Every structure is written in C-alpha cells, then in structure tokens.
Amino acid sequence: MSTVLNISAYKFVPLPDTETLRDTLLARANDLQLKGTILLAEEGINLFLAGPALAVRNFVAQLQQEPRLADLSPKESWSATQPFKKMLVKVKREIIRMDHPAIRPAQGRAPAVSPAKLKLWLDAGVDDEGRPVVLLDTRNGFEVDEGTFEGAIDWRLGKFSDFPQALLAHQAELQNKTVVSFCTGGIRCEKAAIFMREHDLPNTYQLEGGILKYFEETDGTHYRGNCFVFDERRTVDARLDPKPSCPA
C-alpha cells in the first residue's frame, strides 16, 4: 500500500532572506519528520518532500501562509516507502542553474500551455492557429533515456546550463513553429521558454507543471516510457506509480 505522499513544487519569487528561511524551513520539516530537499535562492524556492500525508500537507499549508508563497501548487504522487534518506535545505545561487542571470521568471513568465490543451494539440499535430507543434525536451540526456514525448527534440544536454548554447545552435530549425518546452516539473522549461522568446522564437510555450502535471491531468497519451525523478523511486509511470528504471 502506498502511504507516503511525495510532493514537488517551485516558485520563482524574490527571496532576499534565504538564510533565515533555511533555518526556519529545516526546523519545521524536521519537526514534522519529513525528508527531502529544499533549494532556496534569491530567485525562488524549489522543493521535493515526502512523508505522511498529514505532515506533508501541514508543511505546505504553513508555507502558503507566507504571502510570497501563497499560490505554491505542489504536484503529488504516492509511494510505499520513503524515497529520501535525509532532510536538506540548501541556499544556492539559482534554484535551477542556467548561468544567465538576466533570465528572471519572477519578472514575467513565458506563456504556458495546460496539459489538457497540449494533448489536444498533439492529437491534431497543430496548435489552435494551425501551426506545427514541436516538443523540446529541456532535461538531461540520461533523463530523456527513461522516457519522453513522441517525436520530442532531444539535444543530449549534459546539464541544464548547456541549454542556451544548444538553442543558439539549433534556433533556425524552430522558426515558424509552435515550440512547447517541457521538463519534469516545470522549472527548467520555464527558464528555457523565456530564453527562447528572447531569441526570436515568439511562438514558444512552457508545459504548465511539466511531465508530472501532464501525467496527473491526462491519461499520458503521446508520452513513451517513464519519467525520471530525483529520488530513490528513480522513475514513475503515467499513473505516477514508481517503476523500475529502463535498462542501460
């Protein structure tokens, strides 16, 4: 029986008080006996937590009492065992490293497409205006190997900070198309979509909530394989159930 609630969430919002937040959130998570990782940076928060449902939701409710995080919207899945070994709260330069400090999602996001809308586009092969739709996987190559959307572009990234240079090398191939960037939970494709729009690709969208939200809100059609997650479950399927990793 799956009794451990796993959540992931992020938000780009100015957090100049990261050191104070680190101590507060670590103490709160330990009091609730949660495990996982919380990343804090001046640009926002990114978290992965697991534990009893009541404790996890208590933690989220306390986070949402902070006005800056009131609309934090975690993605949920379940597992039979605790997928994390310890509780860590880290202060970083970026919650997802891109090495382009001018990309500031808190100052304005790229447009997002909902999972339901993306499924309709993929069913039709075109967007609402009749433009061809292409999917761009912004994850690392080893993650893509576990599963991805049918026909998705994969630039074999070694790390997310490789994305800007890869985009510049392939930019011409994406002209006059509707490009939907996607990743596990939305954080990488959010930065990627802004970067693409700033480099003359105006018909770029991000998949709202990433692959995990697509699994949660659709039947997983158009996705092949599993989704890599950064905990001991390693991958989950379209029902968000843990699955063995694909053979190398």
From its phi and psi, is residue 131 left (phi > 0), alpha (psi between -120 and 50) or beta?
A: beta
Q: Name the token pair of 105.
A: 């999602």
Among 164, 162, 169, 171, which residue's Cα sits nearest to residue 141?
A: 162
Residue type, 103: I
40: Cβ contacts below 8 Å, ≥ 6 apart = 15, 18, 21, 22, 25, 89, 90, 91, 92, 95
The number of residues in the chain equals: 248
DSSP H or E segment with residue 166: helix 163-170
Report the alpha-carbon distance of residue 37 to residue 51 in Å, rounded. Answer: 12
Which residue is associated with the tokens 């379940």?
A: 78
Considering the candidates 183, 189, 227, 246, report the single residue annotated as catalytic: 183
* 183 catalytic per annotation: yes
Treating both helix axes as pointing N-terminal to C-terminal, what angle do 18-31 and 53-64 enclose, rounded to 10 degrees?
150
Contact in structure between 188 and 110 (CB atoms under 8 Å): no
Q: Which are the catalytic amino acids?
A: 183
